[in-house]
Structure 1
Amino acid sequence: MVIAGLILTGIAALVHVYIFVMESLTWTTPRVRATFGLSEEEAHATKEMAYNQGFYNLFLAIVAAVGIIAFATGASALGAGLMFAGAGSMAAAALVLFLSSPDKRGAALKQGVIPALAVVLLALGLAF
């Protein structure tokens, strides 16, 4: 189960790097605007907020990735702690989005299910 948790944590990190790219680098492009249902004016008005939010997602991905590397190189306690912090924060943020914005529940599930499963599998794998 730990291996599955490591893999899902890695996938969750990659998803959050992709979210970083969309929010911080390509926010005003037609494709990203369509993904988020934004007009050109809305995208430009929220560009600064999205830029910051994208980096939040990147930092969570980095924490999770460093945890995977630490775990894989023998620092299992440090690695597990970082993976729980990174993936757990991803799942918690998705839960907040799910509960606070009913129209964004699909997005919340896309960004939150994988890290939530990673946390569960890591916890079970490390407990047994």
Structure 2
Amino acid sequence: MLIAAAIFAVVAAAVAFYFFMLESLRWAEPDTAEVFALRGSNPAATAQLAYNLGFYNLFLAVGAALGVVLLFAGNAVAGLTLMTFTTACMLLASVVLVLSDRRVARLSLVQGAPAALSLVLSLLGT
């Protein structure tokens, strides 16, 4: 179970990294506005907030990836703890996202599903 949990944690980290790219590096691009259902908005007005939020996603991605590395590098307790914490944060962020705007339910599912699977498998595997 822990191997499957680790695989989903890596997928969740990749998704979080993708959100970092969108929010911190590509916020002003028209296709990014479509991803976040922000058609007709002024990206410059929210660029600073998005930039900051993107780095939260980056830090969660790094945490999940580091947790996987530690899990299989001989420090299972630290690795599992870090992996579980970061995937729980990703899942909760996806819940907050969908509760704030139902139009981004699909986006929330993309963000939360791999994290949820990793979290459940981690808890079942311990």
TM-score using structure 1 length? 0.92
Superposition deviation, residue 40 in structure 1 = 6.6
Correspondence 1:28-43 to 2 at 5 A: 28-39=28-39, 42-43=42-43
Deviation of 1:100 after TM superposition, in Å, equals 2.7
- Could you tell me how far 1:41 is from its partner in structure 2? 5.1
Q: Please give the alpha-carbon distance, in whole angstroms, between the structure 2 residues aligned to 1:4 and 1:39.
A: 37
Between stretches 68-77 and 29-38, larger displacement belongs to 29-38
Distance 2:45 2:109 in 1: 26
- Cα distance in 1 for residues equivalent to 2:30 and 2:100: 26
3-state SS of the aligned residue for 1:37? Answer: coil
1:25 and 2:31 equivalent?
A: no
Structure 2: stretches of 5+ with no match in the other structure? none
Q: Which residue type is aligned with residue 82 of structure 1?
A: L
Q: Secondary structure at the match of 1:38?
A: coil
Q: Distance in 1 between matches of 2:40 and 2:26?
A: 12
Alpha-carbon RMSD: 1.3
Are 2:60 and 2:86, in contact at CA under 8 Å, matched by a contact in 1? Answer: yes
Are 1:3 and 2:3 matched, yes or no? yes
1:41-120 to 2 correspondence within 5 Å? 42-120=42-120
1:50-94 deviations in Å (ceiling 9; x for gaps): 000000000011111110111010100000000011111000111
What amino acid is the match of 1:45? Answer: A
How far off is 1:96 after superposition? 1.4
Report the Cα offset of residue 106 of structure 1. Answer: 1.5
* Separation (CA, whole Å) in 2 of partners of 1:93 and 1:30: 24
Amino acid at match of 1:35: V
Q: Which runs of 4+ in 1 moved over 4 A?
A: none
What is the letter of the counterpart of residue 8 of structure 2? L
